[in-house]
Amino acid sequence: MEKDLFSQATADLRKAIIIGASSGIGKELAMILISKGYKVGITGRREELLKAMQETNPSMISYRSFDITDLSKTTRSIESLIKELGGLDLLVVSAGVGFITEDLDIGPQLETIATNVTAFTDIMSFGFIYFRKKKTGHLVGLTSIAALRGNKSAPSYNASKAYQVNYLEGLRQKARDLQLPIAVTDIRPGFVRTDMAKSDNLFWVASPEKAAGQIYKAIRKKKRVAYVTRRWWIYALLVRLAPRWMYERF
């Protein structure tokens, strides 16, 4: 299996896979990458949306429809996409879920963990191992500004994003120890106009198009950490500096 994945790699076009590209940021990022000369593999649960995207540019887009929480399908589907693309240079994990759980309903919390922690780990581990054998590559995770502190309304979501941030940092350290040019980029979006952003009390809300444009720039520069939109670094600084007694009043 590993020999097949590498033996089919071609050097003419860069190849990317975006996990979670049927809509929102993932979809917009896929369109940007294609315009920049990438062949792109897209994944998601809604096959009709993926198929519609693929039909707009069949020579540059491949897709696989699966639920990343079904771990029995994830690795096989990504491997299949790599073969169809002819290799892999960039792996982006854009898929994720989040719920307001004021009453600590266990169902949504466990779904958050299954998606944002377990499935995220499954995909990022696969990607790092693949790039380690290839001896180069770029991993990108869309975490969140929510990773910086806890939140009483969505404790499992914020905790899951903190896990992602630390996991990506660990992979970055591992790449350094191996002395391999494997870039690891942590994208921390603020509020973006997607299905997950449903509250009426949001600020600095970006369009998916604007967010994807800034994400592409961070990928191109191989940044370690990038806030999207860029102004969110101000919020991040204030939140980090806020003493615990003050933050817990909110």
Q: What is the C-alpha to C-alpha distance for residues 101 and 88, in angstroms, rounded to an integer?
A: 38
Q: Give pLDDT tens digits for 9-57.
A: 445 689 999 999 999 999 999 999 999 999 999 999 999 999 999 999 9
Query: Is 32:108 a contact under the CB 8 Å cutoff?
Result: no
- Choosing from 157, 216, 227, 235, the catalytic residue is 157
Q: Known catalytic residue: 167?
A: no
The string of pLDDT tens digits covering residues 92-115 is: 999 999 999 999 999 999 999 999
List the domains of the chain with CATH numbers: 2-247 (3.40.50.720)
Task: Evaluate if residue 78 carries a pLDDT over 80.
Answer: yes
Give the 3-state DSSP-derived string for 189-212, with helices as H, strands as E and coil as C: ECCECCCCCCCCCCCCCECHHHHH
Q: What is the pLDDT of residue 9?
A: 47
34, 40 Cβ separation under 8 angstroms: yes
* pLDDT tens digits along 209-243: 999 999 999 999 999 999 999 999 998 999 888 89
What does the pLDDT read at residue 146?
Answer: 95
Q: What's the predicted TM-score (pTM) here?
A: 0.91
Whether 87 shows a pLDDT value over 90: the answer reads: yes
